[in-house]
Structure 1
């Protein structure tokens, strides 16, 4: 997006969030998010439906040789009959399904919500199919009715739209939310007088993702169950480069990896001058999530993005009820709960997934690892966010599993992350990158070389910036530096389209190091990047060592003296107040 579009989206984010948060009152974020996100979804499907209606109306009236939709005016006795025919034609469901647009019945359309929400309770709204009067009960009922109508008309959405009546928001607050979203143009956006090339789907998809992040921040620890920080998701997607194939996330939360993959494909298509829509046909999305409300959030997220998905028949435990048992994915990405304790069942004792060793019953880290490897295609690659302990722990078979993963040459790259990246935990984290084809042999990829017996370590702990007092984030430059280092190492050299030059991989003290298996063996298969990359080189300031040492020693002596003086002053003051020290 250009700078103007980015400014528009930021201003929109701020406006909508402030308006929605002001209306939140005493309802906590964990519940309020379903109300707000549900309304965003209704606005999205209604806008997409209206956009398709406008396109159809233009086609119905366009007299061109190749237009199969054309309705000739001369076939009708009067303008009134012709206009009625046009309206009747606009209500044919197949026109929308052929364009992959959700059918929105009249009671669920945004204009209906906006118009009927302000009416007095008990007002007759319409008649149902049996001819009975349908009366307004409350605004929350009106919204739930819209959600039910949409589910009933679109099999893909069956069971995924969360009803809001249970949260008991009063009518005025809901009308305020409806007005907030109504006052914003999602179909023909303009910023500072300049028309923008953004579609409703792009804008509402962005707003949905932004609100997910804001709710995750508001919920703190609980929010981390469904939201992985955007910069980490982007980093993993940029490193794996999922151009085409099957993409799988066994702990998908709200589906952030899939959204980022979709954006990556669009960006890649733009750079290569491909058709993005055509490119997306080569991607299949598979996910699983145990939490039922999070499972619904993810499905809504995909629907808003127009991403076709398979999240299994229902929400389910990944270990005990694998929804994709036969899947072999080209890319697997996940951010499962760190160090999950309560996961084991005796039914898992001899599971085929534990090829590299049975995981500890009190820690699921290497269970997630092996589940993902089990679902990898012969040329597949994966990225897994785990707690730092996974790189070095030797308790309860973890060290043995790690050794086997290294010796069987599945591990490709380890990335140590800085602290304070997550809303829900302060546990230091890392990213494991594994692949089943370091030889680059089964499917030749011109961008990669034979990397058997080689490993890359990246220490990114010093990167990033503090977004606020508690959260750290990566810049785009940080993400590019890490991803480019990985890709250059995979190829040993990599041509840059921007500069027109080729970059060659080289070790950088304190940041990255390429090693062979023998060196990892010397470290007893511990995979902590800091052990390999060493300390960053310090710039020579030109001051001789002896002089610098004398200067620093003198400064330290002065600071000790000042500390002693201040301590005596504090004691004297406390003594004057009658306190003994």
Structure 2
């Protein structure tokens, strides 16, 4: 993305967020996100629909040998007849479904919302199928009606669009939001006099993602349940490189890993001179989420980006109600809640997923890990964010499970992360990378080497920068440094151990550390720069400096005692 496009998106983010933030006086972030994200979704489907209409209209009027859509003007008696025929043809549902565009009924189109929302309450806005007058009840009712009409016409969206009437918002505030979105060009945008090469899907997808992040910040701990920091998601995707196959996230939140996988394909398709849209056909997305609200957010996120998805028949617990029992995925990625205590059910006692040991009832970390392994294809790879304790804990059998995973040669790489990366927890975290096939494998047409009984440790705790007083973030260079190190090690491509950052260890070394997988155990301290001062001279200088500081401390202590005595106190 060039600087002009980035500036356009930044300005757009600020403009729309400022408009949306006006709702904060009436609703908390956990609720008003549904109003705003619902409007973003309506704007997207309507823009995509109109874009398809424009394409069809051009096809209907363009006479070429291979154009099966062409409608000759001479076949109609008058211009009015011809125009009516064009309008009727534009309303045929199949034209939109063949282009993977959601059908938007007239009552749900953005222009309908814009025009009808400003009418006085009680105005007749249209007639129903029986010819009866339909009157405007409220702007929130108008929006809910649009969402309902879209769900009726698109089975893929059934049950995922959140209604907003329950929040009892002022009509004027909703009209203001509608007008703000209406005043923004999402199709063929122009910025600083320059036509931008951004499509409606790209822009609204970006806005949706930006708003999810902003809402997560506003909600704090609660927001972390559906939002993983973008840089962490990008890091995991860049390391796993999910270019084709089945991608699965059993704790998907709002679907960030799927969005990042989609972007990964687009970026690397450019580098490899592939057709990105064609390559995306080789990716299948599977997810699961227990929270019903978050499940809907994820489905909307996929719909806006045009990503086909299978999130199961409903929101459900991945442990007790697995929506994809037969799935064996090529890539599995997840950021489940850390150290869940109340996950256990007696129905899980002899579950087939606990191949390496029954997880402790008071902590779900190794349950998530084994659930993901169970769903991993024979040549698949997975990445899992967990609390740091998972690398060293020996309580309730966790040490034995970790040992069995290492001895089965499933663990490929451990990455220790810096603190303050997450909005919802300050618990230090790490990333587990596991694979069922360390002997070979291909990624982006590059062969991996045989890595059996070898393990890579990366300590990234010193990377990143403080984005504000609370949150740390990774730069693109930080992400590239970690990912490139991993790929160099996998392919034996000029990999070298770097003290303080990375170390390739053997099974024997891990045994010596009692199967503890904390990177700091193996990597050691970073090399210190030589300042040119001989050791003996440095020690003499520092010893003299310390003696001076001790003497100064004694002098100050004596002075303080004299001052107290002068006040009549002994100390």
TM-score by length of 1: 0.95
Which residue of 538, 543, 560 maps to 1:548? 538
- Residue 107 of structure 1 deviates from its aligned partner by 0.8
Contact 2:441 2:447 in 1 (8 A): no
* Aligned mates of 2:393, 2:67 — CA distance in 1: 66
Name 2:116's counterpart in structure 1: 116
Name 1:534's counterpart in structure 2: 524
Name 2:204's counterpart in structure 1: 204
- Residue 22 of structure 1 deviates from its aligned partner by 2.9
Name 1:448's counterpart in structure 2: 448
> Do the aligned partners of residues 55 and 350 (structure 1) sit closer, same or farther apart at CA in structure 2, a change above 3 Å counting?
same
* Aligned mates of 2:560, 2:83 — CA distance in 1: 89
Q: Encode CA deviations 1:287-312: one digit per residue, 9 max, x unaligned.
A: 00000000000000000000000000
Number of residue pairs aligned between Structure 1 and Structure 2: 571
Name 1:175's counterpart in structure 2: 175
Name 2:496's counterpart in structure 1: 506
Name 1:359's counterpart in structure 2: 359
* Aligned mates of 1:109, 1:423 — CA distance in 2: 36
* Aligned mates of 2:135, 2:482 — CA distance in 1: 59
* Aligned mates of 2:562, 2:302 — CA distance in 1: 68
Name 1:304's counterpart in structure 2: 304
> Do the aligned partners of residues 433 and 575 (structure 1) sit closer, same or farther apart at CA in structure 2, a change above 3 Å counting?
farther
- Residue 103 of structure 1 deviates from its aligned partner by 0.4
Name 1:215's counterpart in structure 2: 215
Contact 1:23 1:177 in 2 (8 A): no
Name 1:137's counterpart in structure 2: 137
- Residue 180 of structure 1 deviates from its aligned partner by 1.2
- Residue 268 of structure 1 deviates from its aligned partner by 1.2
The 5 Å alignment of 1:410-559 reads 410-440=410-440, 446-493=446-493, 504-556=494-546
- Residue 548 of structure 1 deviates from its aligned partner by 2.7
- Residue 547 of structure 1 deviates from its aligned partner by 3.1
- Residue 257 of structure 1 deviates from its aligned partner by 0.2
> Do the aligned partners of residues 408 and 125 (structure 1) sit closer, same or farther apart at CA in structure 2, a change above 3 Å counting?
same
> Do the aligned partners of residues 206 and 565 (structure 1) sit closer, same or farther apart at CA in structure 2, a change above 3 Å counting?
farther
Name 2:80's counterpart in structure 1: 80
* Aligned mates of 1:393, 1:409 — CA distance in 2: 19
The unaligned stretches of length 5 or more in structure 1 are 494-503
> Do the aligned partners of residues 76 and 412 (structure 1) sit closer, same or farther apart at CA in structure 2, a change above 3 Å counting?
same
- Residue 65 of structure 1 deviates from its aligned partner by 1.4
> Do the aligned partners of residues 144 and 573 (structure 1) sit closer, same or farther apart at CA in structure 2, a change above 3 Å counting?
farther
Contact 2:417 2:430 in 1 (8 A): yes
- Residue 2 of structure 1 deviates from its aligned partner by 1.7
- Residue 561 of structure 1 deviates from its aligned partner by 6.6
Pick which of 353-362 and 553-562 moved more.
Answer: 553-562
* Aligned mates of 2:444, 2:9 — CA distance in 1: 41
Contact 2:151 2:157 in 1 (8 A): yes
> Do the aligned partners of residues 557 and 79 (structure 1) sit closer, same or farther apart at CA in structure 2, a change above 3 Å counting?
farther
Contact 2:316 2:323 in 1 (8 A): yes
What secondary structure, in the 3-state scheme, does the structure 2 residue paired with 1:206 have? Answer: helix
- Residue 580 of structure 1 deviates from its aligned partner by 11
What secondary structure, in the 3-state scheme, does the structure 2 residue paired with 1:134 have? Answer: strand
| RMSD between aligned residues | 2.2
- Residue 576 of structure 1 deviates from its aligned partner by 11
* Aligned mates of 2:538, 2:343 — CA distance in 1: 56
Contact 1:252 1:287 in 2 (8 A): yes
Pick which of 195-204 and 56-65 moved more.
Answer: 56-65
* Aligned mates of 2:354, 2:12 — CA distance in 1: 48
What secondary structure, in the 3-state scheme, does the structure 1 residue paired with 2:403 have? Answer: helix
Contact 1:108 1:150 in 2 (8 A): yes
Contact 2:23 2:32 in 1 (8 A): no
Contact 1:23 1:176 in 2 (8 A): no
What secondary structure, in the 3-state scheme, does the structure 2 residue paired with 1:426 have? Answer: coil
Q: Encode CA deviations 1:424-447: one digit per residue, 9 max, x unaligned.
A: 000000000000000117999643
- Residue 130 of structure 1 deviates from its aligned partner by 1.3
> Do the aligned partners of residues 209 and 579 (structure 1) sit closer, same or farther apart at CA in structure 2, a change above 3 Å counting?
farther
Name 1:9's counterpart in structure 2: 9
- Residue 492 of structure 1 deviates from its aligned partner by 0.4
Contact 2:442 2:448 in 1 (8 A): no
What secondary structure, in the 3-state scheme, does the structure 2 residue paired with 1:24 have? Answer: helix
* Aligned mates of 1:116, 1:577 — CA distance in 2: 82
* Aligned mates of 2:485, 2:104 — CA distance in 1: 47
> Do the aligned partners of residues 43 and 571 (structure 1) sit closer, same or farther apart at CA in structure 2, a change above 3 Å counting?
farther
Q: Encode CA deviations 1:347-390: one digit per residue, 9 max, x unaligned.
A: 10000000000000000000000000000000000000000000
Q: Kindly report structure 1 stretches of 4+ aligned residues shifted beyond 4 Å.
A: 441-445, 553-581
* Aligned mates of 1:346, 1:373 — CA distance in 2: 21
Contact 1:379 1:443 in 2 (8 A): no
Q: Encode CA deviations 1:183-221: one digit per residue, 9 max, x unaligned.
A: 110001112111110000000000000000000000000
Contact 1:512 1:533 in 2 (8 A): yes
> Do the aligned partners of residues 23 and 243 (structure 1) sit closer, same or farther apart at CA in structure 2, a change above 3 Å counting?
same
* Aligned mates of 1:240, 1:542 — CA distance in 2: 43
What secondary structure, in the 3-state scheme, does the structure 1 residue paired with 2:447 have? Answer: coil
* Aligned mates of 2:566, 2:25 — CA distance in 1: 50
